[in-house]
Chains A and B, each alone.
Chain A
Amino acid sequence: MHELDPLKESPSQTAGPYVHIGCMPNSIGNHGIFEEDLGARMVNEDTKGERITVRGRIYDGTGTALKDAMIEIWQADSNGLFNSPSDTRGEADPNFAGWGRQPVEPETGEFVFETIKPASVPAPRGRTQAPHISFWIVARGINVGLNTRMYFPEEEAANAADPVLGSIEHRSRVATLIANREGSTYTFDIHIQGENETVFLDI
Chain B
Amino acid sequence: MTSNKVEQGAFYPRDHEWQPKAYTPWYRTSILRSPQKPLLRLDSTISEITGPVFGHNILGQLDDDLTLNYAKNGESALGERIVVHGRVLDERGKGVSNALIEVWQANAGGRYRHKKDAYLAPLDPNFGGCGRTITDVDGYYAFRTIKPGPYPWPNGVNDWRPAHIHFSLFGAGFAQRLITQMYFEGDPHIGLCPIVNTIKDDAAIDQLTAKLDMNNTIPMDARAYRFDIVLRGRRSTKFDNRLEGN
Contact = CB atoms under 8 A, between A and B. Distances in A.
A160 interface: no
A22 B179 CA distance: 11
Nearest to A129: B45
Nearest to B231: A9
Interface string A56-76: 000011100010100010111
Interface in B34-52: 34-37, 39-52
B198 A143 contact: yes
Contacts of A203: 11, 42, 44, 48, 174-175
Contacts of B39: 200-202
Interface string A28-51: 111011110011000000000000
A28 B69 CA distance: 17
Given A2-B12, A13-B198, A141-B32, A136 B174 contact: yes
Contact of A22 (B33, B166, B175): B166
A66 B30 CA distance: 12
B56 interface: no
B229 interface: yes
B168 A23 contact: yes
Contacts of A6: 91-93
Interface residues of A, number: 85
Most buried by B among A11, A84, A122: A11
Contact of A164 (B12, B42, B60, B178): B42
Given A21-B129, A86-B51, 9 more contacts: A9-B232, A11-B199, A13-B196, A13-B198, A30-B128, A86-B46, A126-B246, A143-B21, A203-B175
20 contacts: A7-B230, A8-B204, A13-B179, A13-B198, A19-B168, A19-B179, A21-B104, A22-B131, A22-B166, A22-B168, A23-B104, A32-B70, A33-B130, A84-B51, A85-B53, A122-B246, A141-B31, A143-B21, A192-B32, A197-B36
Interface of B: 6-8, 11-16, 18-22, 24, 27-37, 39-54, 58, 60, 63, 69-70, 89-93, 102-104, 112-117, 128-132, 166, 168, 172-175, 177-181, 195-196, 198-199, 204-205, 207-208, 229-233, 241, 243-246
The 7 closest A-B pairs by CB, nearest first: A22-B104, A141-B29, A141-B33, A84-B50, A99-B52, A61-B32, A202-B39
